[in-house]
Amino acid sequence: MSKEILLTEEGLKNLESELENLKTVKRKEVAEKIKVALSFGDLSENSEYDEAKNEQAIMESRIAEIEGILKNVKIIDEHELSTEIIHVGSKVKVHDKEYDGTFEYRIVGSNESNPMEGKISDESPVGAGLLGHKVGDVLNIKTPSGVCKYEIVEISK
């Protein structure tokens, strides 16, 4: 049995859009590159052909990966989210006790995480450490760079 994959509505739309682009636009582009490279003749010394075939393999792998995700997806209904405790889909404001800074995170499924946008995976040390806690809780979360001491300031949808 495959693992259930959690996504927000936005994450689902982004994946579906990427899949559509790969199937309609990218496939044609790569097929054209292969066609042009074949016109150069001798395949044994044709780096353009090798590159195009490599690009095709990577693209087809990503298409298969997205299709696999979409078969096992569970959408997080943001309207049903509670602001009492932290769970996947929650927006969380935490105060870092050590650095005296406040950070805002959104807890998302691992396929949707993007730390640069403040979206952290429910499987990451910080994401997993925050799950199930309430406003006012002070946590020591073990991360690869050491232990972080966070106070949960706010939970929202």
Beta partners for residue 121, in sequence order: 108
pLDDT by 10s per residue, the chain, length 157: 567 888 888 889 999 999 999 999 999 999 999 998 888 877 777 788 889 999 999 999 999 999 998 998 888 877 777 788 898 889 999 999 888 899 999 999 888 899 899 999 999 999 999 999 999 999 999 988 889 899 999 998 8
Going by the DSSP 8-state scheme, the letter that residue 114 receives in this structure is B
Answer positive or negative: Cα dihedral of 128, 84, 108, 152: negative
Going by the DSSP 8-state scheme, the letter that residue 90 receives in this structure is -
pTM metric for this prediction: 0.71
Number of C-beta neighbours around residue 133 at 10 A: 19
Number of C-beta neighbours around residue 22 at 10 A: 16
